[in-house]
Structure 1
Amino acid sequence: MQHAIAVILSAATTPSPTPTPSTVDPDIVTPGVVGFVVTALIAIAVILLVWDMMRRIRRGRVRADIQEELDAEEQAARAMEATEVDDESIDPADDDTRGDVPGR
């Protein structure tokens, strides 16, 4: 325990080096024209990719809506066909032969 305290105290009392003030060369610290051009090209590429992605998503939604409408029309046609088949299977002549028709 005493050893840990001694290490902490010695680290606290050791002077830390301070940087000497010097002039900074702006060409070393800034990206310059090349950095700006590369960043601008990346930004343009991202904008074009997002634009293409949105166009594809929109196209997919329209296709899904059209497919949904076609499926609904097909289902309605099947229901109509099933109703017509059910109507044809009922024979009105069978109703007259049962004898429970009023008026006969």
Structure 2
Amino acid sequence: MNQLALWAVWMGIDEPLPTPTDPAFNPADVTPGPIGFIFTAVFMVAVGLLVMSMMTKMSRVNARYQVRDELEREAAAQQASEQDAAGQDAAGQDERETGDSDPRSGETSR
């Protein structure tokens, strides 16, 4: 309700307030008509195509990041395995040089 109607209720006026009417007002003059419908339809199709294009490009970017992350994880795992292998080779070489253990029997030999 607008303020004037609230004021009328508060004042105790029981009569409905007159509504302004303009005899020159034609509702058909203010409707968009077929031109407005066509413009709106074209606009919606353009927006739909832009959204589809954006989704395609975003999925490509997402796939690239996933592949990059996977490659980085594989490279890190490979480096870790190479370091482990190098560490085990160095430890085995140290044990053989000092003669602390016999790899066949598991006992120390001196």
Amino acid at match of 1:72: R
Identify the residue that residue 41 of structure 2 maps to in structure 1.
40
Amino acid at match of 1:17: P
Structure 2 residue 100 is matched with structure 1 residue 101: no
2:39 alignment partner, SS class: helix
Percent sequence identity over aligned pairs: 34
- CA distance 1:25–1:43, shift in 2 (3 Å): same
Distance in 1, matches of 2:78 and 2:47, equals 46
Pairwise CA RMSD: 3.1
Structure possessing the higher relative contact order (Cα contacts under 8 Å, 6 or more residues apart): 2
Structure 1 length normalisation: TM-score? 0.68
Structure 2 length normalisation: TM-score? 0.65
Distance in 2, matches of 1:80 and 1:18, equals 86
Runs of at least 5 residues in structure 1 that lack an aligned partner in the other structure: 1-7
Runs of at least 5 residues in structure 2 that lack an aligned partner in the other structure: 1-9, 102-106
Distance in 1, matches of 2:97 and 2:32, equals 95
Amino acid at match of 1:63: R
Q: Kindly indicate which of the two structures has a greater share of residues assigned to helix.
A: 1
Distance in 2, matches of 1:69 and 1:96, equals 42
